[in-house]
Structure 1
Amino acid sequence: MIPMLLIHLLEALIGFSAGLAVGAGYVAFITILGIIPRLIQLSKTEMFLPIYTACILLGSIFGIYLSFTSRTWEYSAIIVAIWGLMQGIFNGMLAAALTEVLNVFPILYKRMGVEKHLLWLFMAIVFGKIAGSLFQWVFFVR
């Protein structure tokens, strides 16, 4: 029979390896596609680079903490709405930067002939992400 300590060590090794694989994929996605640098360039906020770095690091650590605990917090609907708004803004900017880096929209709007309405297209995506995040946080997370 295999001792329980050996089983726990094997589970820890498998979990750590899986975490490294997912983390490497995330870093490759962010780094190779240049999502964060493009967001910084588009928003013309290069002077806040140390703050961006700290936010990405702290957000990742906080997300890991929330993933491994069963702790829940009770917030008012206003705080949840603000949280959802911030998430929606981030997701919208990330989606816009990703599509711009991959040249999805330039190809799409040239083929569809909507060059004049590009701003409205981007705003629809951003506000759609905001509305979706608010809906999720207000109705499902709360």
Structure 2
Amino acid sequence: MAFEVLITMIVGLSGGLAVGSGFVAFISVLGIIPRLVQLTNTEKAAKAYEIAVIGGAVFGTAAVLHPFQFSFPAFFTIPVGLAAGIFVGMLAAALTEVLNVFPILAKRVGMEKNVMSLVMAIVLGKIIGSLFHWIIYVTL
């Protein structure tokens, strides 16, 4: 019995290290933190960004492993959801930038001169779709 528990612990730790290493490699390859520092002109806060990403990953891991519930007021979910949405949006934007998706898409659909219109259409479509989902499927 103790041997099985030890093997389970080793396999779990190995899997966690593999996934964590993949996440760190993904974030590093995309260059999210240096690009964020460059765009916001906040070179002094680079360490804080790194700590925030690491802290978020650790907290997320703990939240998955130990299911617990918070009892905060409903309005508290707005900033939490906003922060989660900003993180996912920045991750998607970084991936898009690295892969040069917009210039390729603009060339394919014949909008080389109107790339900004294409970006705004995608952004507004995402916002309207998200609002539709939350208003229709979540709140009703």
Give me the TM-score of the superposition, normalised by structure 2: 0.80
What SS does the corresponding residue of 1:42 show, helix, strand or coil?
Answer: helix
Equivalent residue letter for 1:68 = L
Percent sequence identity over matched residues?
46
Bigger relative CO (Cα 8 Å, ≥ 6 apart): 1
Corresponding residue number in structure 2 for 1:12 = 9
Corresponding residue number in structure 2 for 1:40 = 37
User: How many residue pairs end up in the alignment?
Assistant: 136
Residues 115 and 82 of structure 1: is their aligned pair in 2 closer, same or farther, counting only changes over 3 Å? farther
| Equivalent residues in 2 for 1:1-142, closer than 5 Å | 4-123=1-120, 125-126=122-123, 128=126, 132=130, 135=134, 139=138
Q: Which runs of 5+ in 1 are unaligned?
A: none
Which has the larger displacement, 85-94 or 8-17?
Answer: 85-94
Give me the TM-score of the superposition, normalised by structure 1: 0.79
Equivalent residue letter for 1:45 = T
Equivalent residue letter for 2:73 = S
What SS does the corresponding residue of 1:90 show, helix, strand or coil?
Answer: helix
Taking the aligned partners of 1:131 and 1:75, their CA distance within structure 2 comes to 27
Structural RMSD (CA): 2.8
Taking the aligned partners of 2:120 and 2:71, their CA distance within structure 1 comes to 32
Q: Report how far residue 52 of structure 1 moved.
A: 0.3
Q: Which runs of 5+ in 2 are unaligned?
A: none
